């Protein structure tokens, strides 16, 4: 590849003016560096159209200067600002309310106040502090996307590392300190040290690609969710949560039920979740530990990623969507990931089952269609919508309880046998949580400690759950070694920089997943039947999984 070919390549990449600027810098490089670039041959340099698309994407993401590009790679593996901008653009395109009307805000406030009044009779936990928000779709995006980005960060980092390995060879092995001439065209001169390496631009490509996918999914999902706890975890900073009035009205219309009744039902769901998370300080850190352990264990199939890249029309974030899909390039789960996955599924089921139990008891005297609404919510939690499935594919996990029905029955049985106070006292420590019925002839695992149990031990444990929590505490001394979760989680959350070192110690769950369990989100955008409630005994009901 001679100088004329290199000169032309730069002009095609950066345009006549900036291409000439890049050529001038290249001409000033030491002869040895220029000769190394000549010897590579044109086939080893990126396609000019790929370079142009990459730089245009960076500009669209607000990365207009080298300093901004460098800061983006230092802030994390996802450009969260770009993700929010894309999500909000999707929200605006859906004819979404820009503000909450006074009437809508009043309806939300009344529904949440009424829900807490009803829950007072069936729950020993106090209402969450503060006042629930009346949300728009845009404010839901603003309030929750940081949490989603935090959960997705380990997956995004794995993707970025894999992209760097797969695409690195396309840029050759040029010396980092002398490469400024290649990419000086589209940005001011001199280039910062951090952007002299083409590998930095590959990291920016992954950073931007993941942000675009995350933003698109969040924008679509904003019209599907009803409140801040729809995925069973706490996403808003406001502990009292919030409801999206516009979505609830549209949901009620689709069901042909009264708007007030549907609002009351959704408010019960939101208020019950808020009470639980406000009263149980270890609960959200436990979810974060399990999600982090699973996501950090994800390994990427480099050959599969190379195949996805080869199928892309160009090397730009939009075309690279398939290459950052865990369902297409993720490796098989490790035993440690299966343990984390089992723990996450069990904890989600226990949370949603507890909420389901309370909603039934609090609303049965007030909501004429409670059973239908309850069944619809169970099915939606089991199946999820298309946007939710896209969202989960970026994080690598499904936030759906496989065994919600079983968990609800466990909590209901405890309520009948021991009362609401003894039932809720089991949340005082993770070691007290009930066991869900397991498959016969399999070693079961405690959802809180990760201790393997035989069938006899698990059966004894299940029987003991019906007894008061104080009796349970008296027997703690006879248990095998139990991990000190409070200490371990404190270490994990005390310093985010040490999460990779501490993650294996903080998770204490183990077990096996069912064959039909959601190991990884699939590309299948299956929908549940939402035309009306089905009998719980229906053999094809996904909530029975």
The answer to whether 54 and 201 have CB atoms below 8 angstroms apart is: yes
pLDDT of residue 22: 72
| Cα 24 to Cα 44: distance, rounded to the nearest angstrom | 21
Average pLDDT over residues 108-115: 97
b/e map of 88-122 (b: 16 or more CB within 10 Å)? Answer: bebbeeeebbeebeeebeebbbebbebbbebbeeb
Q: What is the pLDDT of residues 152-167, one digit of tens each?
A: 888 888 888 888 887 7
Q: 176 or 6, which is more confident?
A: 6
Point out the least confidently predicted range of 90-104, 124-138, 319-333: 319-333
Position 272 pLDDT exceeds 90 = yes
Cα→Cα distances 94→98, 386, 530, Å: 11, 16, 22
Specify whether the CB–CB gap between 181 and 287 falls below 8 A.
no
**CA–CA–CA angle 280, 278, 128 (5° rounding):** 150
As a whole number, mean pLDDT of residues 205-217 equals 83
Strands 444-445, 242-244: pairing is unpaired
Looking at the predicted structure, is the pLDDT value of residue 352 above 80?
yes
The confidence score (pLDDT) of residue 515 equals 32
Highest-confidence segment of 193-197, 198-202, 291-295, 412-416:
412-416
Structure tokens that stand for 10 in this block: 């730069």
Identify which has the larger pLDDT, 68 or 295: 295
Q: What is the pLDDT of residue 262?
A: 97
Average pLDDT, the chain: 74
Q: What is the mean pLDDT of residues 89-116?
A: 94
- pTM (predicted TM-score): 0.69
pLDDT at 301 over 50: yes
Query: What band does 317 get if pLDDT is binned at 50, 70 and 90?
Result: low
Which has the higher per-residue pLDDT, 138 or 472?
Answer: 138
What's the pLDDT score for residue 353? Answer: 95
- Condensed to tens digits (0 to 9), the pLDDT of residues 164-185 reads 887 766 555 444 433 333 333 3
pLDDT the model gives residue 382: 80
Question: Which range scores top for mean pLDDT: 188-202, 477-491, 496-510?
Answer: 188-202
pLDDT attached to residue 397: 76
Tens digits of residue pLDDT in 367-396? 999 999 999 988 888 887 766 776 677 777
Please, which pLDDT band fits residue 65 given cuts at 50, 70 and 90?
low
pLDDT at 485: 41
Structure confidence at residue 484 (pLDDT): 45
Residue 427 has pLDDT above 80, yes or no: yes
Handedness of CA 255, 408, 401, 139 (dihedral sign): positive
Q: What pLDDT does residue 69 have? A: 56
Q: Is the pLDDT of residue 4 over 90?
A: no
Pairing relation of β-strands 242-244 and 133-135? parallel
């Amino acid at each position: 590849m001679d100088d004329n070919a290199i000169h032309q390549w730069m002009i095609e990449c950066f345009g006549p003016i900036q291409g000439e600027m890049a050529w001038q810098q290249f001409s000033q490089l030491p002869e040895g560096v220029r000769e190394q670039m000549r010897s590579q041959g044109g086939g080893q340099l990126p396609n000019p159209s790929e370079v142009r698309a990459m730089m245009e994407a960076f500009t669209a993401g607000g990365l207009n200067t080298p300093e901004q590009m460098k800061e983006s790679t230092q802030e994390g593996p996802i450009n969260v600002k770009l993700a929010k901008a894309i999500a909000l653009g999707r929200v605006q395109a859906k004819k979404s309310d820009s503000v909450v009307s006074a009437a809508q805000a009043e309806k939300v406030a009344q529904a949440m106040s009424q829900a807490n009044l009803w829950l007072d009779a069936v729950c020993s936990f106090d209402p969450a502090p503060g006042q629930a928000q009346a949300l728009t779709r845009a404010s839901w995006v603003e309030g929750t996307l940081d949490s989603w980005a935090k959960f997705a960060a380990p997956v995004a980092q794995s993707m970025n590392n894999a992209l760097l390995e797969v695409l690195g060879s396309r840029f050759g092995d040029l010396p980092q300190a002398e490469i400024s001439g290649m990419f000086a065209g589209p940005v001011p001169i001199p280039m910062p040290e951090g952007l002299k390496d083409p590998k930095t631009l590959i990291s920016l490509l992954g950073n931007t690609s993941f942000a675009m996918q995350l933003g698109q999914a969040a924008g679509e999902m904003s019209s599907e969710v009803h409140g801040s706890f729809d995925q069973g975890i706490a996403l808003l900073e406001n502990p009292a949560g919030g409801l999206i009035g516009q979505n609830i009205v549209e949901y009620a219309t689709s069901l042909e039920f009264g708007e007030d009744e549907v609002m009351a039902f959704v408010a019960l769901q939101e208020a019950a979740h808020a009470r639980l998370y406000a009263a149980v300080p270890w609960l959200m850190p436990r979810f974060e530990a399990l999600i982090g352990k699973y996501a950090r264990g994800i390994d990427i199939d480099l050959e599969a990623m190379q195949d996805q890249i080869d199928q892309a029309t160009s090397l730009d974030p939009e075309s690279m969507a398939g290459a950052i899909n865990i369902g297409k390039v993720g490796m098989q789960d490790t035993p440690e990931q299966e343990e984390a996955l089992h723990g996450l599924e069990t904890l989600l089921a226990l949370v949603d089952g507890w909420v389901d139990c309370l909603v039934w008891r609090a609303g049965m005297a007030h909501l004429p269609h409670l059973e239908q609404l309850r069944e619809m919510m169970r099915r939606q939690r089991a199946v999820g919508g298309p946007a939710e499935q896209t969202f989960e594919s970026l994080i690598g996990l499904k936030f759906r309880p496989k065994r919600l029905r079983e968990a609800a029955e466990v909590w209901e049985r405890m309520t009948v046998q021991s009362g609401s106070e003894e039932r809720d006292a089991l949340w005082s420590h993770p070691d007290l949580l009930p066991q869900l019925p397991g498959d016969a002839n399999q070693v079961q695992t405690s959802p809180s400690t990760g201790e393997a149990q035989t069938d006899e031990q698990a059966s004894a444990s299940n029987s003991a759950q019906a007894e008061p929590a104080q009796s349970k505490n008296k027997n703690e001394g006879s248990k095998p070694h139990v991990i000190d979760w409070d200490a371990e989680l404190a270490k994990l959350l005390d310093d985010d920089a040490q999460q990779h070192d501490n993650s294996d110690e903080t998770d204490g769950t183990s077990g096996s997943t069912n064959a039909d369990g959601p190991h990884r989100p699939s590309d299948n955008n299956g929908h549940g039947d939402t035309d009306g409630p089905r009998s719980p005994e229906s053999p094809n009901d996904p909530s029975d999984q």
